[in-house]
């Protein structure tokens, strides 16, 4: 019966690992900050923590004897060998696989918080109005695209012009997104198999 308990323990451990959340947190308020949380483990990405400098050991250099270079035969390029149509078809197949993988990946991400506020300011009233229009034209469509592609619990975007004298453009940003380990494993298996099949087909064609 001991082996049964061991198997149950392993299965329970794997199940717990699969349901570990991976959370990305990012914020901007004068300075950018970003970190990834794997369960309760924090990995700070920006600003990066300073690394300790290691003392480099000085190696004694030994004189190298020059060896005669061997003449290498140039192999024909893939385009010359198989044609441009074959290469374009391969690029198309790789692109389709990449797009499918990205769509699957983003569809399983949950944005728990998305908050962006911009106070647009320029040199004068006209410049402020122009900047405000540019920011709106870029930000609102981009956020709309993100919300359509990714599951979003709540988001808020606020862009306002600041016509005060000597005002400066201010940006505040908070972002929290989460995905579970089992989702990433399932995606890796699904699209990894497709990638291996494509690689095998290309090898057979060569």
Secondary element (H or E) of residue 105: helix 84-107
Q: Can you give the three-state secondary structure of 145-173, one letter per residue?
A: HHHHHCEECCEEEEEEECCCCCCCCEEEE
Contact predicate 153/110, CB 8 Å: yes
Query: pLDDT digits over 122-169, tens only?
Result: 889 999 999 999 999 999 998 888 888 888 888 899 999 999 988 889
Write out pLDDT tens, residues 156-178.
Answer: 999 999 999 888 899 999 999 99
The structure's pTM equals 0.73
C-alpha to C-alpha distance for 162 and 120, rounded to whole angstroms: 6
């Amino acid at each position: 019966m001991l082996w049964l308990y061991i198997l149950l323990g392993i299965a329970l451990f794997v199940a717990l690992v699969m349901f570990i959340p991976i959370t990305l947190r990012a914020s901007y308020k004068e300075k950018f900050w970003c970190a990834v949380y794997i369960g309760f483990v924090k990995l700070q990405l920006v600003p990066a923590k300073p690394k300790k400098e290691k003392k480099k050991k000085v190696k004694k250099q030994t004189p190298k004897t020059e060896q005669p270079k061997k003449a290498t035969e140039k192999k024909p390029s893939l385009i010359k060998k198989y044609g441009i149509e074959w290469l374009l078809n391969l690029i198309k197949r790789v692109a389709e696989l990449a797009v499918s993988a990205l769509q699957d990946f983003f569809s399983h991400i949950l944005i728990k918080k998305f908050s962006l506020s911009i106070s647009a300011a320029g040199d004068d009233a006209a410049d402020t109005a122009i900047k405000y229009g540019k920011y709106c034209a870029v930000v609102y469509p981009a956020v709309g695209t993100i919300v359509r592609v990714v599951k979003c619990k709540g988001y808020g975007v606020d862009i306002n012009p600041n016509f005060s004298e000597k005002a400066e453009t201010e940006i505040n940003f908070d972002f929290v997104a989460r995905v579970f380990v089992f989702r990433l494993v399932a995606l890796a298996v699904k699209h990894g198999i497709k990638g291996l099949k494509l690689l095998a087909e290309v090898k057979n064609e060569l």
